[in-house]
Amino acid sequence: MQFCVLLVDDHKIMRDGIKAILSRGEEFRVVGEAESGPDAVQFVKLHRPDVVLMDIGLPGLNGVETTAEILRFHPECKIIILSMYDDENNVVSAIRSGARAFILKKASDSDLLEALRMVARGGAYLSPQVSDRLLSRIQKGDLESRQASSALDVLSPRELQVLRLVAEGKTSKEIAVVLDLREQTVRSYRKTMMKKLGVNNVAGLTQLALSTGLTQLPNAQAAAD
Amino acid sequence: MDKVERAGKILHDDVGPLLSAAGLRLQLIKMDYPETAGLVAQVTELLDQAIDRVRAVSQELLGK
């Protein structure tokens, strides 16, 4: 059986490299490429690929948020997150969003293919460097999510997406474009969030998003991707 | 954006992905010419060190 794969990365040079590796075998066929989260969501809605291999550091809607969005429309889709680095927050966020695998971009061809095989057949996979680090953290007993994040537990995944974009300074109109929603719907989300979180304005929302680590100041965000 | 910040952003957004893409091409060489596996592993290790170094420097320049 041949599995259909969508590649999502804003760097064409990365997509080309992965496509070349997959083309060496018969198991996987690249049926599409996307360079942004919204493009990936649109492709999945139309073509329903078996597997999505996606960069975590996409501009706008990032890989984690795009994962959640794709799974809303196509829950059977198997998503693999690719990352330059093995930051614990990235790994945990990716898995929580529904991704079935987290692999580093410096993974060998055999690791990449192994991840694709495992995930395409319903399993899960973590790069050896990632799983080693997680095991070590679990053994030391310090693998806990940030306590401050609990303040946002009352929000739905969609509200968290909107909150992150609000905190990044985007207007309701811009958020509507990124998330493929009506502007009025975004405004409604903002009102609901303010009520749930007990804040009265955008500054309050932004402060909460920063203090809980949901988003970072622009400089720090670039360094963390 | 000042020069230091710009340098950090270029390292993070451009140089890092280029190094990763170079790593993928090395994997292709290994797949097509299995006899190069030993040498490819050595170069891959150097690239990994470069990726980690680029990240550390970009974080420093971006003030993280």
Residue span of the structural domain in which B35 resides: 25-58
CATH class of A3-140: alpha beta
Residues of B in contact with A14 (CB under 8 A): 17, 20-21, 24
Instruction: Indicate whether B47 belongs to any domain.
Output: yes
Kindly state whether residue B45 falls inside one of the protein's structural domains.
yes
Q: What is the total count of domains within chain B?
A: 1
Residue B38 lies in a domain: yes
Q: Decide if B14 is inside a domain.
A: no
The verdict on residue B2 lying in a domain is no
Sort out which chain B residues have CB atoms less than 8 A from A13's CB and list them.
17-18, 21
Where in chain A is CATH 1.10.10.10? 147-224
Q: Do A106 and B18 touch (CB under 8 A)?
A: no
Query: Is residue A117 pLDDT above 50, yes or no?
Result: yes
* CA–CA gap between residue A206 and residue A170 (Å, rounded): 11
8 A C-beta contact, residue A194 and residue A204: yes
Q: DSSP letters along A65-110, please?
A: HHHHHHHHH-TT-EEEEEESS--HHHHHHHHHTT-SEEEETT--HH
User: What ipTM goes with this model?
Assistant: 0.85
In the block, tokens 């710009």 appear at B6
Check if A106 contacts B (Cβ < 8 Å): yes
Give the pLDDT confidence of A120-145 residue by residue, as tens digits: 999 999 998 888 888 887 787 766 54
pLDDT tens per residue, range B5-41 = 889 888 888 898 899 999 999 999 999 999 999 999 9
Classified by CATH at the fold level, domain A147-224 comes out as Arc Repressor Mutant, subunit A (1.10.10)
